Each structure stands twice: as structure tokens, then as C-alpha cells.
Structure 1
Amino acid sequence: MPLYETVFIARNDVSQQQVEAVADGIAALLETDGGAVKKREYWGLRSLAYRIKKNRKGHYMLLGLDAKPETIKEIERQLGLNEDVMRVLTLRVDEIDEAPSVILSRKGDERERGFRGPKPAGRFESGRGGAGGARRGYDDREEFRARNEREDGRDTDGEAE
């Protein structure tokens, strides 16, 4: 049977156990049709690149499936009908990698990095006052008016002194 990888995103207001229950339902459907779940990874609650159905975060789940194409169509239909699932993507693959996915391995690297120390003070101001910002009450035009008066020897009205 062909191999597939399916990633689905569930709403952020459901619990991890409910997401696991959706994956269990897929596994039960596969087993009745003679397929199997070869890989199962919960990626956690992650931020979305853009809002989907008024949600900014979602629970991600990756499933490596060994199933018939008809069964995959039924799984996608079932996930589409489930109110908790926002998006589904299924790809046919040549082989299912048993090692943890890139998402999970990167998540472990972030935890190992640890605390880097406090930010340096004063160098990276936001531009709103402070050390790097403009002076309060300062008008650039006054400087140019004064410079023009000195160079020409005239007032700003164009009259000679």
C-alpha cells in the first residue's frame, strides 16, 4: 500500500487529549480498512502564519500512514467534517522516516539554548525619546533658518541687514 503523511491543525481551544482522540479515530478507521499508522507526532500548540477561522494558534499533529487511496480520501473527508480541525494536508511519500521530524528536533534545540543574559542598555532604543531619540521640543526648521541667515546675511524675509 502507498505511504502518506498527514498533518492536521486543530483549534487552540481544544485540549491535547481531544487532538489525540481525533488521531485515535483516524487510526481506528485505518485499522478497519487494513491500513496502519506508522508514525505519530504531536507538535504542540503553535502560532499560525495567518488567522484561520478566527484562530491565531493551533494544535499540530503529524501522522505517517500506510493506507489505500480510498481510505485516505475517507480520512480527509472525516477530518474536514470535524469542527475541531481547521486544516488538513496529506502528501504521498516514498518512505516514512522513523526519526523525529525537523519540527520536534528544532523544538529540543530551543530548550537547550537557555538564558542568554540581559539585553545591553541604551544601544537599541526604540526612537521614542531616550538616548537615541530626537530631542523634545526641537524643530529642525529653526536650524536651517539660522543657517540661511548667516550665509546670505539676510533675514528669512529676504531683506538685507
Structure 2
Amino acid sequence: MLNHYETVFIVTPVLSEAQVKEAVEKFKTLITENGGKIENEENWGLRKLAYPIQKKSTGFYQLLQFDAPGDLIEKLELNYRRDERVIRFLTFKLDKYAFEYSIKRKGNLKTKEEK
């Protein structure tokens, strides 16, 4: 059975847009190759951090919502730690209410983009 997960990671701001996209594709590929399915992806862009991390005050934020088996999370977080481009990450399992809310939110985002 697949669980619902959401992960947010921050990529270092010294990279170009192409390098950021390459980093995101790496993690998306890791998820799909290990039995996961990407449900939603949001690029939040360059944002100011609440506090400096590794002497950096900004970072590129990326959100991925996906369904995956539980053992994938350990592999994913290990790859986050090994990748020097990622300065922070957070992955958590969505319960059924949070998952329903994310689907409703995603629907609202699509209707706003169409307007």
C-alpha cells in the first residue's frame, strides 16, 4: 500500500535556474524509480529564509506531493543529505484529512491559474 507524503526542500541560491531544475528532476526521478507517483509539484521560487543557513539568507523552495511505499522516504532523505545543493528539507506523511485538503487546495490553485 502506498502512503501519501509531502516534501519541501530548499536548494542553495548560488545555482542557476537550470541547475535547480536538474536537482528537482533528480529527486522526482528517485521517487518514481522506487515505486512512487508524483501527485503535485510546486516551485515556490527564490524566497528569503527566516534565519541564515550556511551563511545564506535566500533559497529556492520546492514542494513535491507524492504517493510512495514507506521505505522510499529513507532513501530520499539520504539523498537530500548527500546532495550539497540542498540546504534544508522536510518530509512528512499526510493523514487522510491533510491529503483531502491538499487535493482541494490543488483544485483551487488550478482554477486561480485559469482566471
TM-score range, shorter chain: 0.7 to 0.9
Residue 14 of structure 1 aligns with which residue?
A: 15
**Cα drift, residue 15 of structure 1:** 2.0
Residue 63 of structure 2 aligns with which residue?
A: 62
When the two structures are aligned, how many residues end up with a matched partner? 105
**Identity value in percent:** 36
2:26 is aligned with 1:25: yes
Contact kept? 1:16, 1:59, Cα under 8 Å: no
Structure 2 residue ranges without an equivalent (≥5): none
**Cα drift, residue 57 of structure 1:** 0.3
Does the residue aligned with 2:10 lie in a helix, a strand or coil?
strand
Does the residue aligned with 1:78 lie in a helix, a strand or coil?
helix
Deviates more, 1:43-52 or 1:32-41: 32-41
Runs of 4+ more than 6 Å apart: none
Residues in 2 aligned to 1:16 and 1:24: alpha-carbon distance in whole angstroms: 12
State the Cα deviation string for residues 104-140 of structure 1 (Å, max 9, x = none).
8xxx9xxxxxxxxxxxxxxxxxxxxxxxxxxxxxxxx
Does the residue aligned with 2:21 lie in a helix, a strand or coil?
helix
Greater strand share, structure number: 2
Does the residue aligned with 2:78 lie in a helix, a strand or coil?
helix
2:87 is aligned with 1:80: no
Q: Map 1:29-40; keep pairs closer than 5 Å.
A: 29-40=30-41
Q: Which has the larger radius of gyration?
A: 1
Does the residue aligned with 1:83 lie in a helix, a strand or coil?
coil
Residues in 2 aligned to 1:23 and 1:12: alpha-carbon distance in whole angstroms: 14
Amino acid at match of 2:61: Y
Residues in 2 aligned to 1:34 and 1:77: alpha-carbon distance in whole angstroms: 17
**Cα drift, residue 14 of structure 1:** 0.9
Highest RCO, 1 vs 2 (Cα 8 Å, sep ≥ 6): 2
Q: TM-score, normalised by structure 2?
A: 0.81
Structure 1 residue ranges without an equivalent (≥5): 109-161
Does the residue aligned with 2:14 lie in a helix, a strand or coil?
coil
Residues in 2 aligned to 1:52 and 1:68: alpha-carbon distance in whole angstroms: 31
Q: Map 1:1-161; keep pairs closer than 5 Å.
A: 1-94=2-95, 95=99, 97-98=102-103, 99-100=105-106
